[in-house]
Amino acid sequence: MVHSSHSPRQTESIAAALAQTLQAGQCIALNGPLGAGKTQFVRGLAIGLGAPGRAVSSPTFVLLNIYRGGRIPLFHLDAYRIAASEDFEAIGFPELLEQNGLVVVEWATRVENLLPPKRINVTLEVTGKTDRQIVIG
């Protein structure tokens, strides 16, 4: 499915609508260049799950943020700064997949070998200053 977004708020809305369809135990592989809106997309997922969106921030330096308060926990990871997949394993990534939450990984191609084969792939492409093409599949 392909969506067009013309603002950060619209990116959040697209993600919030997706969140309504998600179940515990699912994994989202999130990709796109720097500044494409990956964290904005996660903020929309949190809002759609019923968690406070204002708490969402990029986990680039901490690797993992956990957002509770929605209908399922949201585990938000960032693989941008990791040196190897083993870094993700060391923080308990395989166990997170079994915690009955939604696991979202930014820069997912960097840890593709750890991701479950059955996942939702989301790619954000920059098409203008605030315009994005969001491919969900």
The pTM of this model reads 0.92
CA distances from 92 to 45, 77, 110 (A): 22, 11, 16
**pLDDT for the residue 85:** 78
- Taking the C-alpha atoms of residue 56 and residue 62, their distance in angstroms, rounded to an integer, is 13
Asked if the 2-136 domain carries CATH number 3.40.50.980, the reply is: no
**pLDDT for the residue 50:** 95
> Which residues partner with 133 through β-bridges?
4, 125
Q: Any idea what the Cα angle at residue 61 is, between residues 55 and 63, rounded to 5°?
A: 75
Q: What is the pLDDT along the chain (137 residues), one digit of tens a residue?
A: 999 999 999 999 999 999 999 999 999 999 999 999 999 999 999 999 999 888 888 876 677 899 999 999 999 999 988 877 787 788 788 888 899 999 999 999 999 999 999 999 999 999 999 999 999 99
Residue 61, number of CB atoms within 10 A of its CB: 9
Q: Is 50 helix (H, G, I), strand (E, B) or coil?
A: coil
